[in-house]
Amino acid sequence: MEIDLRSSMFSPPPLPAEYQLVQWSAGLIDAHAEAKFHSFCYEIDANVFPCLGEREGCLRLMREIAKRDGFLREATWLLAHNDGSDSYDYCGTVQGVRDSDFGAIQNLGITMPHRGHGLGTYLLHRSLLGFREVGLNKAYLEVTAQNTGAVKLYHRLGFRRVKTVYKAADVAYA
């Protein structure tokens, strides 16, 4: 699905006080991988991309993304949640890379207990702003067609479907 970044973009909801947006740094690879794993491990995308269903697979994927030529720190963000104690848990992640003239959103994920509060919309918006900051006018993402919740969300935010790609997936039989 694609979105034009030149037109006025959707407005993100405010970030609730107990959440903090964390800018990319190389030391956060593990935190991104952990948030990615907890966001995707029980989701349909983990059937299509099995590495998303494994902790080690998510770490490998994060390392690969961070090493890509087009990796954009401006479009890569983490969300931390603080429940009032001293510790944080990382509950959301998005990564962005430049793919010729496009910004490409990599796996946007919010962990289960934190969904439905606008955090996915917020992170996506921040990542798209990052694409704009480096001069990109268009962005795309790939989403599994059966992931109807996410498709509905992206559609509502202004993304439009441009093509359907078919991928082979292993199916487990009981």
Instruction: For ligand COA, give the closer residue by CB, 135 or 149.
Output: 149
Residue 139 in the binding site for ligand COA (CB under 6 A): no
139: CB partners within 8 A, 6+ apart: 2, 3, 5, 96, 102, 103, 104, 105, 128, 131
CB-count burial class (<10 Å; 0-12, 13-18, 19+) for 93: buried
- Please state the closest distance from residue 28 (CB atom) to ligand COA, in A: 18
Spell out a b/e string for 14-47, using b for 16 or more CB atoms within 10 Å of the CB, else e: ebeeebeebebeeebeebbbbbbbbbbbebbbbb
Residue 115 in the binding site for ligand COA (CB under 6 A): yes
Residues 37-76 close enough to bind ligand COA by CB under 6 A: 39-40, 43, 45
Query: Segment near ligand COA (CB under 6 A), from 14-22, 95-103, 108-116, 165-173?
Result: 108-116
Q: By CB under 6 A, how many residues form the interface with ligand COA?
A: 22
Residue 9 in the binding site for ligand COA (CB under 6 A): no
Residue 106 in the binding site for ligand COA (CB under 6 A): no
